[in-house]
Structure 1
Amino acid sequence: MKCDTLAALALQLTWSDLRMDVARGFQAVVTTSEVFQSYEEDYHELLQRLRTLAAVVEGNAPVEERSAAGLEMIECHERAQQAFQQMDFEVKSMGPLGAALSGKLKEYKQEMLACRTLVRNIQARLQREGLLSGMTQDEEKAERDSSNRLRAGARRLEDSRRTALEAEAVGLNVMSELHDQRDSLKRTKGHVGDVDGHLGTSKMFLTLMSRRVQSNQAMVWCLAIVLFVVLVFLIYLKIQKLMAFLR
């Protein structure tokens, strides 16, 4: 009965992979980062290897081969879990672009749950058969190493995120300064336009004043000429009277 359960779980994982491959063939192309694609390839290879090892453990292979396959299967499951977590971190670091990959991560999460059940059942079976003696310490060590690697990866992602936020803040400050300078240039341009307008008005007033001065000068000259003619005429009359008196 236990063998039937393990076989059903392995068949479920295989059918889930097949269904995901068909669905991905009809989905629209989604632009992903090279890091995400690398972890995704590792994830699929590890799951394929895990199923192959599960078949070896459930088969009629020698005891040593089944024990080695069980140990490697546990390691493959841990590495697949790490690859899944790295994909999750990468999607979160992608921001809005990672929203298109959330459905794919949900499917991978369901796969990991099924794989965990399969690994636990096989591990329990091998322990009952005495093929995993002394495995606890190795498993704890592997788990500690995995946790350390995951924490290191999380720190690197957090540092990258902090650097990106700082760069974004610097960019916003630069944009704000450029906007202020643009407003200052607009105000300066407006002042220059006002000064130009005032200069045009002053030039017009000066032109009018110059014309008035010229007209006034012309009137003065005309008046002087008239006075001079009148004076000459008066002198002429006086001379005529004087000459008439002398005769």
Structure 2
Amino acid sequence: MANLIDNYEQQYAVLTADITAKICRIRLQGASERRVYVQDVDRQIEEAQELLEQMELEVREMNGKTRDRLKAQMESHRAELKRLTQEFQASKKLDNMNETNVDESWDNNVTEDQRKRLLDVSDRIDRNGRTLQNGYRMVLETEEIGTEVLKDLHDQRETIQRSRGRLRETDADLGRGSRILTGMIMRGLQQRLILAAVALTLIIVVCLVIYYSVTSKS
């Protein structure tokens, strides 16, 4: 919300600076150009009033010292806009008067006062601009940190995926080794059974030979 109010204040500062500059130029323009300036200032004063209303709505939702400080700023902005409106009305009246009847000293005082306000508004714009630049720099730094974190997470994810791949390969190798070992054990058992059968056959043959030998002698 504070950033929104800062944005409103910057827009308001730009508007009031432009209004002040155009009020100073109204008396220096020809009739057609003067009408254009008057229309522009009318529109910009309405925009400034709408901005102040939006700012006041935002301030009402705040609490504590920040709200009190911003309320004081709103009062200052209202007073400033009121002065600009009065000067604008006076400039329009002067437009309808004979310029030779205008009090030059009064005009010089108004111009000097407007010049001071232009400087004040310019300083405020500079301060708001620096605040926005600092905020933008913080956003860029945060974005850079976020990018680095995402990169680290991406690298870690790839590392985990590679580890999982190696685990799957190891598991497959263990499976193949287990099957090979089982096959070797089975072949060993088969060979032992064959050897046992051969031995048993030989024993039977020897027994038969001995039996027939003894029988034939008898």
The answer to whether TM tops 0.5 is yes
> Residue 131 of structure 1 aligns to a residue in which SS?
helix
Q: Aligned match of 2:88 in 54, 75, 82?
A: 54
Is 1:164–2:191 an aligned residue pair? no
Which of 182, 190, 211 is the equivalent residue of 1:207? 182
| 1:177 Cα deviation from its structure 2 partner | 0.6
One-letter amino acid matched to 1:182 = R
Q: Give per-residue Cα distances to partners, 1:169-199, cap 9 Å, x unaligned.
A: 0000001111111111121121112112212
Q: Normalising by structure 2, what TM-score? A: 0.57
Following superposition, the deviation at residue 38 of structure 1 comes to 3.8
From the superposition, tell whether residues 209 and 58 of structure 1 become closer, same or farther in structure 2 (CA, over 3 Å): closer
- Supply the distance in 1 between the matched residues of 2:100 and 2:115 (Cα, whole angstroms): 18
Q: Secondary structure at the match of 2:142?
A: helix
- Gap change, CA 1:126 and 1:196, over 3 Å in 2: farther
SS at match of 2:106: coil
Identity %: 24
Structure 1 146/126 Cα, relative in aligned 2: closer, same or farther at 3 Å?
Answer: farther
The CA deviation at 1:8 is 3.4
CA distance in 2, matches of 1:134, 1:52: 15
**Match for residue 170 of structure 2 among 171, 195, 204:** 195
One-letter amino acid matched to 1:8: R
Aligned pairs (5 A) from 1:167-178: 167-178=142-153
Distance (Å, rounded) in 2 between the aligned partners of 1:52 and 1:10: 16
**1:92-135 deviations in whole A, cap 9, x for unaligned?**
xxxxxxxxxxxxxxxxxxxxxxxxxxxxx79xx69942423544
Aligned to 1:226: 201
Q: How is 1:177-192 mapped onto 2 (pairs within 5 angstroms)?
A: 177-192=152-167
Report the CA distance shift for 1:127/1:240 in structure 2 as closer, same or farther (over 3 A): farther
Q: What residue in structure 2 maps to residue 5 of structure 1?
A: 31
> Structure 1 pair 167/153, CA: closer, same or farther in 2 (3 Å)?
same
> Deviation at 1:212?
0.9
Determine which structure has greater relative contact order: mean sequence separation of CA pairs < 8 Å that are 6+ residues apart, divided by chain length.
2
CA distances 1:8-58 after superposition (whole Å, capped 9, x unpaired): 3476348868xx9xxxxxxxxxxxxx99x649xx99x98898566534555
- Please give the per-residue CA displacement for 1:143-186, whole angstroms capped at 9, x wherever unaligned: 33222222211111111011000000000000111111111112
Distance in 2 between the 1:159 and 1:126 partners? 51
Amino acid at match of 1:167: T
- Letter aligned with residue 142 of structure 1: R
Find out whether 1:238 has 2:177 as its counterpart: no
Q: Which residue of 2 aligns with 1:77?
A: none
TM-score (norm 1): 0.51
Aligned residue pairs: how many?
A: 162
Q: CA deviation at 1:211?
A: 1.6
Alignment partner, residue 16 of structure 2: none
Match in the other structure for 1:151: 126
Task: Specify whether residues 58 and 221 from structure 1 end up closer, same or farther in structure 2 by C-alpha distance, changes over 3 A only.
Answer: closer
Give the unaligned 5+ runs of structure 2.
1-26, 57-73
